Amino acid sequence: MEKLVGSGHAPVNGLKMYYEIYGEGAMPLVLIHGGGSTIQSTFSNLIPLLSAHHKLVAVELQAHGRTSDRDSPELFEQDADDVAAMLGFLKINKADFLGFSNGGTTTLQIAIRHPGIVNKIIVISASYKREGMIPGFFDGIKVATLDDMPDSLKAAFLKVNPDHERLQVMFEKDRSRMEHFQDMSDEDLASIKVPTLLMVADHDVVTTGHVLKMSQLIVGARLVVLPGIHGSFIGEVGTVKKSSRLPETSAELIEEFLND
């Protein structure tokens, strides 16, 4: 069982940003969850595998889980600035970053906006343009309600923050962000110069062709396509199969990339 080394709230940019620290290591690995998620709902199956060899700093973003909200919309650029500020609070000068789904897009923004704090990035099941999502994705977002949110994600939020109004606010902000998703440019992606690992499932909500294009824009990027659906190969609580060994496979691939 992984050991929680520390946790707390960092005062950054008008937020009280919640974080947890696991394991030990010289180069921290920052974990950034997906939309509508918490640290545990995205990473509970990956943390025990990675913390055996790395210091992990897992965060919860604006309005998610145990992190407070502010009177402003959610933006990937702002999330990137918040995470960078949190690392400053923790006196971490450089780190590796692993982001899943929306957290992957935030990770791209960290590499673009704060390259000085980035050693390597791992971007899992994330897009940089609207065209990268499967057909019908944005049509579904327009009409989505809280009832459409996976029960596993609602339960994970309420377990750490039993405020139903906060859950509703988080859902509305997440939905609005995706409904008004703004494309990043090819030049933005090409500006990323750090070692990059891109991972996607073969039946993901992000198309494999889109992630292939990303791998061609980021010089030297590596691409892994694994079987499954969105989040299943890293053990995301709503999609992982209990008997699956894919989280272990993913952890080994991440480990090899970080140690290379």
Model pLDDT, residue 170: 98
pLDDT tens digits, residue range 129-138? 999 999 999 9
CB atoms within 10 A of CB 217: 18
Domain ranges in the chain are: 4-259
Find where tokens 């918040």 sit.
82
CA angle 113, 181, 100 (to 5 degrees): 65
With a CB cutoff of 8 Å and minimum separation 6, the contacts of 115 are 192, 193, 194
| Per-residue confidence band for 80, with pLDDT thresholds at 50, 70 and 90 | very high
Q: Which two tokens stand for residue 89?
A: 């609070």
Positive or negative: CA dihedral 23, 27, 29, 30: positive
pLDDT tens digits, residue range 148-182? 999 999 999 999 999 999 999 999 999 999 999 99
What fold does the segment set 4-259 form as a domain? Rossmann fold (3.40.50)
Model pLDDT, residue 25: 93
Model pLDDT, residue 175: 97
Model pLDDT, residue 67: 98
Average pLDDT along the chain: 97
Model pLDDT, residue 59: 98
pLDDT at 1 over 70: no
Q: What is the pTM of this model?
A: 0.98
pLDDT tens digits, residue range 35-66? 999 999 999 999 999 999 999 999 999 999 99
pLDDT tens digits, residue range 234-251? 999 999 998 899 999 999
- The residue among 250, 150, 251, 138 whose CA lies nearest residue 205 is 138
Q: Rounded to whole angstroms, how far apart are CA atoms 31 and 46?
A: 10
Residue 42, strand partner residues: none
| Per-residue confidence band for 3, with pLDDT thresholds at 50, 70 and 90 | confident
| Per-residue confidence band for 89, with pLDDT thresholds at 50, 70 and 90 | very high
> How long a stretch of residues is the chain?
260
Residue type, 69: D
With a CB cutoff of 8 Å and minimum separation 6, the contacts of 4 are 20, 21, 22
Model pLDDT, residue 177: 97
Dihedral pair phi/psi, residue 182, rounded to 5° = -105, 125
| Per-residue confidence band for 16, with pLDDT thresholds at 50, 70 and 90 | very high
Q: Rounded to whole angstroms, how far apart are CA atoms 11 and 82?
A: 10
